[in-house]
């Protein structure tokens, strides 16, 4: 199973989701072709109601601890409640451009 699929499965198996998108953004960075090192995760869940942003991120980081200790170098998390998702017009923020490695 590739890293992206593993991330998706771990999140789906542990959080009740309204929306999940996992994007491999490695191609935007100075890494070899077909790398799985940089990911953007957008997830929407009513489980996040009343939960501070840092607690949401800690929850996801705990689920993905093995990936973060291994192949994943960067993980951009956009964790929202359904109401927050609607306010953002169901759009996740664009990622910043790579600033290192000659890109």
Sequence spans of domains, the chain: 3-87
Task: Return all residues near 89 (Cβ < 8 A) that are at least 6 apart.
Answer: none
The pTM of the full predicted model, rounded to 2 decimals, is 0.88
pLDDT computed for residue 93 by the predictor: 85
pLDDT computed for residue 36 by the predictor: 74
pLDDT computed for residue 37 by the predictor: 74
Q: How far apart are CA 9 and CA 32, in angstroms?
A: 25
Mean pLDDT per 10-residue section of the chain, whose length is 103 residues: 95 98 82 77 98 98 96 93 96 77 50
**Topology classification of domain 3-87:** GMP Synthetase; Chain A, domain 3 (3.30.300)
pLDDT computed for residue 1 by the predictor: 79
């Amino acid at each position: 199973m590739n890293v992206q699929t593993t991330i998706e499965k771990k999140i789906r198996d542990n959080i009740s989701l309204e929306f999940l998108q996992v994007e491999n953004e490695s191609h935007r960075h100075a890494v070899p072709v077909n790398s799985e090192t940089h990911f953007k995760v957008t997830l929407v869940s009513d489980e996040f109601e009343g939960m501070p942003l840092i607690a949401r991120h800690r929850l996801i980081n705990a689920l993905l601890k093995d990936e973060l200790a291994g192949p994943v170098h960067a993980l951009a998390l956009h964790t929202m409640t359904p109401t927050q998702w609607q306010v953002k017009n169901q759009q996740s923020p664009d990622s910043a451009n790579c600033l290192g490695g000659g890109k």
